[in-house]
Amino acid sequence: HVQLVESGGGSVQAGESVRLSCVASGYRYSSYCMAWFRQVPGKEREWVSSIWPTGNITYADSVKGRFTISQDNAKNTVYLQMASLKPEDTAVYYCAAEGSGAYCALGSIRNPPLGYWGQGTQVTVS
């Protein structure tokens, strides 16, 4: 049983900060690259950031300098600290786990058991 549960979303004002959390369970967390994506209706899901168990981090250009990804391996949790939020950041944010660092770096999450998705958490910026 593999489960990724996101939390921390909500409605905020432009310029404010929000921290999203993703708790992973049911598998060896340290074996996966963790990533954040976001999606709005009618658009493709957009890769936001990835972090490896070793601490290596990558960001999409659209969020670089504003968003910070981090992890607490002891808690099997990955975070996305979002600062200076803009209305265009409004989306459903998804947590994902990918067993291949190469795929994760490309923003590609494979089907289970190679990769997994959470249910998402809505972030609305106005």
| 3-state SS assignment for residue 48 | strand
Neighbouring residues of 22: CB distance < 8 A, sequence distance ≥ 6: 4, 5, 6, 7, 34, 36, 77, 78, 79, 80, 95, 118
DSSP assignment of 87-122 equals GGG-EEEEEEEES-HHHHHTT--PSTTTEEE---EE
The answer to whether 63 and 49 are in contact (CB under 8 A) is: yes
pLDDT tens by residue, 15-30: 999 999 999 998 776 7
The proportion of the chain whose per-residue pLDDT surpasses 70, expressed as a percent, equals 99
Rounded average pLDDT over 111-123: 95
How does residue 102 score in pLDDT terms, banded at 50, 70 and 90? confident
Q: Which pLDDT score, from 0 to 100, does residue 65 have?
A: 96
Higher per-residue pLDDT: 47 or 54: 47
